[in-house]
Structure 1
Amino acid sequence: MKSLMKTMLLALFCLVGVVAHAASDKPNIVYILADDLGYGDVQCLNPERGKIATPHLDKLAAQGMTFTDAHTSSSVCTPTRYGVLTGRYNWRTRLQKGVLHGFDAPLIAADRLTVAELLKQHGYTTGCIGKWHLGLGIPKGEPSPTIPSGPISCGFDRFFGIAASLDMPPYAFIENDHFTEPLNTTKAFYKRKGPAVESFEAVDVLPMLTRKSVEFIAEKAESDQPFFLYLPLNSPHTPIVPSKEWEGKSGLGNYGDFVMQTDWSVGQVLAAIDEAGVADNTLVIMTSDNGCSPAARYPDLEAKGHFPSGDFRGMKGDVFDGGHRVPFIVRWPGQVAPGSRSDQIICLTDFIATCADIVGAKLPDNAGEDSVSILPAMLGTDQGPLRESVVHHSFMGFFAIRSGNWKLEFCSHSGGFGDPKPNSAEAKRLPDTQLYNFNEDVTESNNLQAEHPETVARLTKELEQIIANGRSTPGAKQANDTQIKIRK
């Protein structure tokens, strides 16, 4: 009997050891999503036309890989976040243009697999700290309601953050499924007035999110269980409110100061990873949800020599690349070569497929329909293009598709906040289709739609097929949530 008991204990010990070893083989994953940080706002990506110091982002790039052709699925906040967490294009949902607000119903369906749920299935503990902006279904008129939906119902074990953009009520911190304090007053940050907590101030949010993230990393690093931290920052989105110690640092006004503070926040998170002793087994991804906002005051910045979109045309909200081409930096010691660069065309929807590849999982047909693993590019084993195409979507819901060096835009204008604006006199004079060759024209200034009708036809057909199939990756055909029109 004693011999049998010893055998059973030994077997149990070995099993525990195998599980612990398997868990330790999986990297911790920290995904940092800045809010309205332009491609040209990162110094190492825009050395000639960028004037804001970003030492921590520059160091991260030197330690890892920079993707130079990375795109958000939309050129605004909510839709991009949907794509990051689900691997599905945002325009397949009810949200055909614009963004959600703080009290809106959830955009992620209850039965949709998220990257947090996927990682939980594979032994991860998961946390979301920051700006949610995907709908929480918060009951209105109640000071201390239970919040029925949100990160906790989407696979996250822990949430601390804010409901939506920091210029949208409710103005309060949320922990898991409740406000940390009752809504007891009314405030307005930037332009929107609504329910708030009296002690809540916009300027305190970035430092608080940074501190909570550092604490999360320190706590979770003590466990053998791998962790996933999704950190969607509130900055440098409006209200543009750098802390007192950052005011005047950039010499470019509040926006430059806030970008510098955002860089500091990233530095604090990286330092926490180092101090916890888990840097060698932690995959860090740093990116942005769209291009720089017009609220940053482009003319003022450009007059001082700073170009937030770098060499690219457009800004947040636009179908032009300045709206959706974003910084994308990956660090994974021992796996990703330091100081490396990839020119692969990628999309932020690719995150869930990449995570599935890392943990050895296969996504079901009804998940990650527009997600392609970029792990081969990260490891330097890619032999050709990972994607056939990427679909872009503007603030006003206008489409574009990029395939290789060709980009086709289904409008005569920016589709968003830039010039020419939708319905403007200038837009009405221009062709209703734009075609650009990025081999020769990254500034999107020479429309070739008349010279290459065959390319227009080919890319139009490709977009129509992607819409009809309910997916852009191999797999069973899926249904979109609503009818989708290419031309608005």
Structure 2
Amino acid sequence: MRRSAIRASAWVLMMGAAAAGSAQETAQGLPNIVIVYADDLGYGDLSSYNPNSAYETPHLDRMASEGVRFTDAHSSSTICSPSRYSLYSGQQVCRTGRGSRAFEGPGGPSYLTPDTLTIAQMVQRKGYRTGVFGKWHVGLTWYDEAGERLGGGFENSLLIDYGRSTPLVDGPNARGFDVSFVTPNCPTTDPLYCYIENGMVPVPASERHDPGRLPNADGKWRWDNDKGWMAPGYRFIDADLLFFRRTVAFIEEHRNENPEQPFFAVLSTQISHAPVLPAKEFEGKSGAGARGDFVVELDALMGRLLKKLDELGIDEDTLVLFHSDNGPETLHTIWMREDHGHDAAGGFRGMKRDGWEGGHRVPLIARWPGRIPAGRVTRQLANTTDLVATVASLVGFDLPDEVAVDSFDLLPAMLGTRSDEEPIRPYMLTQSFRGEFQIRVGQWKYLAHMGSGGNGYDKGPLKAFALPETAPEATGQLFDLARDPGETTNLFFENEARRKELQALLEALTAKGGRTAPLGRVPLGMDRILRRK
């Protein structure tokens, strides 16, 4: 084990031992924190980001008008599992030494190893009670009856020995969450279809799921609902209503039992991942088809969450963060453009899996009444990895240099104490479907690969969106996003000096033991965050 990993592991152990004794002392005066993490929601999927949206998202628009909206925020990866690793760890998936993949079946083990300090463990150390609800999808360890670890694959679900596998050694409760109600993979796409509650599986997956029993609006929106093994009574159509109710129950129960202790909750939604299965009450609500209804459902749940915080009298004591794990799904993007004139990618090139902007530029909104100035819009560069350092800064947690190595503190951008002319991030990494890298430095973006890095644009429905290659002999792509936000003109040869500069920087940042975050990060702390009238 590397020396840095040993130090990080020791820090995690020390943190766990000290948490119980210091909880009440450290938690005093700290805000509640709720992260709502959407799935496959593109930059153009909210009406606050897209004036030409085919539907309205009034609750998320209100959240933006009462807080801060980031216009240059990015997921760390263009697929879900690596982005979720980044949300919890503050690191790019390349730091795991493993490939970039989305888990299915009993796939694992977790990207979050025992020596990874998670955002949940961090806030636990500061006295928070923690909960996570919805999609987990960072890998899990499952065993068969012989005690052998199972690999992915839908059929392997039948080989799980639940007695040997639970409590899960790398589930949410082993990674800093006091309470959890999650699904192992995509809740309605990738079997195994079962619920995991506090590390246990109340009902094993024992029935074969038949996609044909689910609705299929316009004969296509059920796409990507895979056959596989499910638990009896498993719910597909109202998955997010279930996750939302569990989140609210956690908040209400905690407020009733421990009103002086802050809470940290993650609601990881299924919306707007395939298949598109809006709950019954939202059918036809958007005027923009099934996927429009789906996003309107997510917006409504955000409205209900904000209302609940107000009813409980904790609205001004709660930071709410809204973010997405990657850009919009390919066929969803195409069908919404064709059927409803709606561009889920917000005018950017690319979609989910792609290294172009449409694959990873996503919404990021933060709301904290009385602390974050209302109506802020910032151009500061931001990444999913940054939520760890931002929360650490807020709660006064000193991040060791060896953890969250790709995480920058965005609090100054949220609070309006740092101008957009003073970049918080000097550079940013993202990774596409195959794990290939993209790097941003100011207006410049370099992709260390040709093509999308994810989807194929040479045939099928995506061929209509292929752009001519302006530097066919190049081995990578260089774009000036200030002049060319659509990434149409590859400057690989034209600006050789800039390209070599970014190539060298990328090599240094991604080397073994590399990092992008600064050393010696100092938290801001609540005593320096003014309450605004």
Task: Read off the aligned partner of 2:229 and give its amino acid letter.
Answer: P
Residue 40 of structure 1 aligns to a residue whose secondary structure is: coil
1:45 aligns with 2:88: no
> Which residue, 330, 337, 342 being the options, matches 1:306?
342
Report the 3-state secondary structure (helix = DSSP H, G, I; strand = E; otherwise coil) of the residue aligned with 1:25: coil
* More off after superposition, 368-377 vs 461-470: 461-470
1:164 aligned partner = 185
Report 1:125-140 matches (<5 A).
125-139=129-143, 140=157
In structure 2, relative to structure 1, the CA distance for the partners of 1:143 and 1:20 (3 Å cut) is closer
Deviation at 1:396, TM superposition (A): 1.8
Deviation (angstroms), 1:21: 7.8
Identify which range, 89-98 or 203-212, moves more after superposition.
89-98
Are the counterparts in 1 of residues 68 and 372 from structure 2 also a CA contact under 8 Å?
yes
Cα offset, 1:448, TM superposition: 1.6
User: Partner of 2:237: helix, strand, or coil?
Assistant: helix
1:429 CA displacement: 4.3
Pair 1:419 & 2:468 matched: no
Matched, 1:33 2:37: yes
The Cα shift of 1:144 comes to 4.2
The alpha-carbon deviation at position 46 of structure 1 amounts to 0.4
Corresponding residue for 2:515? 471
Partner in structure 2 of residue 318 of structure 1: 354
Q: Which residue matches 1:192?
A: 226
| Alignment counterpart, residue 269 of structure 1, candidates 292, 300, 305 | 305
Give secondary structure in 1 for the equivalent of 2:180: strand
Asked whether the equivalents of residues 221 and 278 of structure 1 are also in contact (C-alpha less than 8 Å), the reply is no
Residue 486 (structure 1) aligns with: none
Structure 1 residue 20: Cα displacement: 5.6
CA displacement 1:396-425 (0-9 Å, x = unmatched):
22211000000011122111126368xx99
Q: Distance in 2 between matches of 1:401 and 1:411?
A: 11
1:173 is aligned to: 195
Report the alpha carbon displacement of residue 201 of structure 1 after superposing the two structures with TM.
2.6
Matches of 1:329 and 1:436, distance apart in 2? 27
Contact 2:131–2:180, Cα closer than 8 Å, also in 1: yes
In the TM superposition, residue 248 of structure 1 has moved relative to its aligned partner by 2.0
Deviation, 1:438, is 1.4
Following superposition, the deviation at residue 292 of structure 1 comes to: 0.6
Partner of 2:214: none
Tell me if 1:353 matches 2:389: yes
Deviations 1:456-476 (A, max 9, x none): 000011111111242112349
* CA shift for structure 1 position 279: 0.7
User: 1:388: how far off?
Assistant: 1.0
Instruction: Give the one of 228, 236, 253 matched to 1:202.
Output: 236
| Aligned residue identity for 1:273 | L
- Could you tell me the TM-score, scaled by structure 1's length? 0.89
- Matched-pair contact (CA < 8 Å) for 1:241–1:258: yes
CA distance in 1: counterparts of 2:372 and 2:458, whole angstroms? 41
2:24 & 2:355 partners in 1: Cα distance?
A: 47
For residue 127 of structure 1, give the secondary structure of its aligned residue in structure 2.
strand
* Alignment-mate amino acid for residue 455 of structure 2: F
The question of whether the paired residues in 2 share the 8 Å contact of 1:43 and 1:58 is answered with yes
Give, in angstroms, the shift of residue 365 of structure 1: 2.1
**1:120 and 2:162 matched:** no
Q: Which secondary structure does the structure 2 equivalent of 1:309 belong to?
A: coil
* Alpha-carbon distance between aligned partners in 2 of 1:337 and 1:441, rounded to the nearest angstrom: 31
Q: Comparing 279-288 with 91-100, which one deviates more in the overlay?
A: 91-100
2:505 maps to amino acid: E
Q: 1:120 to 1:436 in 2, by over 3 A?
A: same
Letter in 1 for 2:435: G
Deviations 1:85-136 (A, max 9, x none): 1011112224423312241211111111000000000000000011000112
Q: Distance in 1 between matches of 2:339 and 2:228?
A: 36
**Aligned residue among 436, 442, 456 for 2:499:** 456
Counterparts of residues 146-295 of structure 1 (less than 5 Å): 146=166, 147-166=168-187, 167-189=189-211, 190-222=224-256, 223-295=259-331
Cα offset for 1:217? 1.6
Aligned residues with identical type, % of pairs: 39
Unaligned segments of structure 1, at least 5 residues: 1-17, 477-488
Task: Note the C-alpha offset of 1:264.
Answer: 1.4
> Does the C-alpha gap of structure 1 residues 430 and 298 become closer, same or farther in structure 2, counting only changes over 3 Å?
farther
Note if contact 1:287-1:327 (Cα within 8 Å) is conserved in structure 2. yes
Letter in 2 for 1:472: T
Per-residue deviation at 1:50? 1.3
Letter in 2 for 1:66: R
Change (3 A) 1:466 1:420: farther
In structure 2, how many angstroms separate the alpha carbons of the residues matched to 1:118 and 1:354? 12
Deviation at 1:386, TM superposition (A): 0.5
Q: Check whether the contact 2:71–2:363 (CA below 8 A) recurs between aligned residues.
A: yes
Looking at structure 1, the residues matched to 492 and 363 of structure 2 have their Cα atoms a distance apart, in angstroms, of 29
2:27 matched residue in structure 1? 23
Supply the distance in 1 between the matched residues of 2:452 and 2:210 (Cα, whole angstroms): 30
Which residue identity does 2:433 align to in structure 1?
F
2:266 and 2:509 map into 1 onto residues whose CA distance is 29
C-alpha distance in 1, partners of 2:24/2:122?
19
- SS across alignment from 1:178: coil
Gaps of 5+ in 2: 1-21, 144-156, 212-223, 521-533
What is the distance in 2 between the residues matched to 1:430 and 1:263? 45
Give the Å deviation of 1:302: 4.2
For residues 126 and 181 of structure 2, the distance between their equivalents in structure 1, rounded to whole angstroms, comes to 23
- Give the equivalent residue in structure 1 for 2:57: 54
More off after superposition, 21-30 vs 341-350: 21-30
Task: Tell me the distance in 1 between the aligned counterparts of 2:171 and 2:400.
Answer: 23
Q: Following superposition, which runs of at least 4 residues in structure 1 exceed 4 angstroms of deviation?
A: 18-22, 424-430
Task: Name 1:406's counterpart in structure 2.
Answer: 444
Question: Any conservation in 2 of the 1:102–1:136 contact (CA below 8 Å)?
Answer: no
**Aligned partners of 1:349, 1:57: CA distance in 2, in Å?**
22
* C-alpha contact 1:252 1:301 (8 A) present in aligned 2: no
Distance of aligned partners of 1:430 and 1:130 in 2 relative to their CA distance in 1, 3 Å threshold: farther
Amino acid of the residue matched to residue 57 of structure 1?
L
18-27 vs 134-143, greater mean Cα deviation: 18-27
The farther-off stretch of 425-434 and 361-370 is 425-434
- Offset at 1:387? 0.7
Match of 1:68 in 2: 71
TM-score (normalised: structure 2): 0.82
Residues 315 and 418, structure 1, Cα contact 8 Å, conserved in 2: no
Q: Is the 8 A contact 1:67 1:328 kept in 2?
A: yes
Shift of 1:74: 0.3
Describe the superposition over 1:161-183 as per-residue Cα deviations: whole angstroms up to 9, x where unpaired.
Answer: 21111211111121111123232
1:344 deviates by 0.2
How far apart are residue 300 of structure 1 and its match? 4.3
Q: 1:386 maps to what in 2?
A: 424
Distance 2:160 2:53 in 1: 46
Structure 2 distance, partners of 1:209, 1:350, is 25
Q: Is the 8 A contact 1:134 1:150 kept in 2?
A: no
Give the conservation status (yes or no) of the 8 Å contact 1:67–1:344: yes
CA RMSD of aligned residues (A): 2.2
- Label 1:457 to 1:75 Cα distance change in 2 as closer, same or farther (>3 A): same
Q: Paired residue for 2:474?
A: 431
CA distance in 1 between partners of 2:31 and 2:291 (Å)? 34
Residue 92 (1) aligns with residue 113 (2): no
